[in-house]
Structure 1
Amino acid sequence: MVRAAGVRLVQKVSSTRLFARVAPHVIPALDRGVHRLTRGRVLLSAQLLPGVILTSTGARSGLPRRTPLACMPQEDGRGWLLVGSNFGRTGHPAWTHNLLAHPDASINVEGRDVPVTARLLTGEERAAAWRSLLAFWPPYATYQARVTREIRLFRLTAAP
């Protein structure tokens, strides 16, 4: 009961424009620091939403880029949905450009590294995933309403 109230409060706060301005500068830095200090065992933001650290290859630089992200694990345990919401800001987040250019990546989930392949979702597959994501985390609807771009959705599949 208390946890549900806390989640609702966080959902309400995360839907505000102030959160969209501040969060991109604070949350990833905190996540990276805590993740490093705990040797990958703890991702601070994952206390509310499941999360991963995505390691992708920079689209222009070719260098490894580590990005803490919320995700929606798939029921089979071998896939994850990532949402390029950028907290409802106008541009696509850099990590989405990286995955479009270099879909082979890795994630650190619960302290273990998993090689993955990313695929941009389109059409009905995207629509179905979007409905699931809105049920999972309703503030995504607020983020989409703020921007004219279509928020990119990626399915990550664990490499065999």
Structure 2
Amino acid sequence: MSDAKLAPNLPQWMLDHANRYIASGGTEGHLYKISPPGYGDLTVPALLLTTVGRKSGEKYIFPLFYGKTGDSYIIVASKGGAPEHPGWYRNLVANPEVEIQVGTLKTKARARTVTGEERARLWEKAVEFWPPYADYAKKTDREIPVVVLDPVN
């Protein structure tokens, strides 16, 4: 992943978080402590997602909160409830072959957007690990994509 770089236009807290994660080799930053307004103190698991830019062809790293389903990882394309999907999601729709770092584990994965009953079930899991997703869903007209990252050996 040495040719990957942090995505442009990330907010400062995400940059700080991702830089600490990368610099520590994943021993720091994989559990992110945050106090979103109205939720108290939360400790949320975080991974680093590397996608290939759909326009640039360059590799970009995004720090994201995640959950688990079996041996796979759940991420949510919420963008805080913004009207459009985040860039990382548009990238993985164009090219579902991604790289992830979960703590010190680095692996390749294939991304898939889930629908129907699977989405409903995994959305509930997502709201458990990051309760603000429920608020984000109320702020937007789009259905927020739930993505499963299946590790590829």
Q: Secondary structure at the match of 1:50?
A: strand
When the two structures are aligned, how many residues end up with a matched partner?
A: 135
Aligned match of 1:32: 18
The structure in which a higher percent of residues are helix is 1
TM-score with structure 2 length normalisation? 0.81
Match of 1:73 among 64, 68, 77: 68
Q: Which runs of 4+ in 1 moved over 3 A?
A: none
User: Structure 1 residue 44: deviation in Å?
Assistant: 6.4
Q: Which amino acid aligns with 1:55?
A: T
Matches within 5 A, 1:10-159: 25-43=11-29, 46-47=32-33, 48-74=43-69, 76=70, 78-159=71-152
CA separation of 1:135 and 1:35: change in aligned 2, threshold 3 A: closer
Q: Which amino acid aligns with 2:11?
A: H
Gap runs ≥5 in structure 2 = 1-9, 34-42
After superposition, give the CA deviation of every residue in 1:21-47 in whole Å (9 maximum; x if it has no partner). xxx512211112212321332116634
Paired residues of 1:40 and 1:108 also in contact (CA < 8 A) = yes
Q: In angstroms, what is the RMSD of aligned CA positions?
A: 1.6
Identity of aligned residues (%): 30
TM-score with structure 1 length normalisation? 0.78
Q: Which amino acid aligns with 1:29?
A: L
Q: Aligned equivalents of 1:145 and 1:66: distance in 2?
A: 28
The structure in which a higher percent of residues are strand is 2
Q: Aligned equivalents of 2:125 and 2:24: distance in 1?
A: 31
Q: Aligned equivalents of 1:44 and 1:135: distance in 2?
A: 17
